[in-house]
Structure 1
Amino acid sequence: MKKQNGFTLIELVVVIVILGILAVTAAPKFLNLQDDAKVSAVKGLAGAIKGAAGITYGKAAVAGEESKETGYITVNGVSTALTYGYPQATSASLGAVVDGLNADWVENPTDTGVTTIGGVTYGYNGFGCVVHYTEAKADEPAKTEVKGTADGCIVDTGSN
């Protein structure tokens, strides 16, 4: 009797069908990775803005500028405008305290489906998750919020 080597045609077809089923069920999980990465990047930007605003407030407190409606301190060699010790909601003030903000992010991105009033917004054009920064007021600190309609873009209304 001859010894059989290799696989039969039926065994190969069964393996191909199983791989096809796995590909159909797993592919949607991997196709959405770009959106997940964008949401994570936006949340990371929100953390960077919160941290930079907190550090700026600390520097303003040391300089005695934290209780003034408007003031200035020098951050990274740039004169930075303040409102009650926090950076003003302008690309110039935030750009001075957050490295790469104006180079890497779109200010007031378009087609996001997110409504923001006042302040300044950063994100990706055409993507439904943004960071919104609102200036401090006399009785409340500046706010950095993650807003959006994209999957995983949880609304965060925390103050700095």
Structure 2
Amino acid sequence: MLSHVDENGQAHMVDVSVKDITLREAHAEGFISMSRLAFEQVIQNENKKGDVLGVARIAGIQGAKKCADLIPLCHPLALTKVAVDFEIDKAKTQIKITSYCKLAGKTGVEMEALTAVSVAALTLFDMCKAADPTMQIHGIQVTQKSGGKHGDWQRD
């Protein structure tokens, strides 16, 4: 039986009250590809809207913190660490967005890590769309998680 569906087939929030508190961590990544012009504006900090990467980092952190407000059946979590970072790929005019979320709790933080990457990517798109409305956001995925009943996992 699916954990988010009750015996009548209705969606519901899973009761995690009896689960053990464990250290939970998750990493996620995603990419945004853009034109050379938009890319150069970002890396040279010449975008008219300001510090694109700085704003996207803060937006990603805020996104992780607001995950339960956005995803209907997610539990509100007391995150103890959220990090959002960027890797610049000049050859592909692409920015890799990575996130890391951590807490001691009863449920995992994969959704928060994914939300951090997604919101950071959307913020990059918003801030750069005047230079390139054809940007592409892609490859958003969990890359690693630890803690909980299912233990540690890492994408190959």
TM-score range, shorter chain: under 0.3
Q: Hey, which of these two has a bigger chunk of helix by percent? A: 1
Q: Hey, which of these two has a bigger chunk of strand by percent? A: 2
Return the TM-score normalized by structure 1: 0.25
- RCO (CA 8 Å, sep 6+): is it higher in 1 or 2? 2
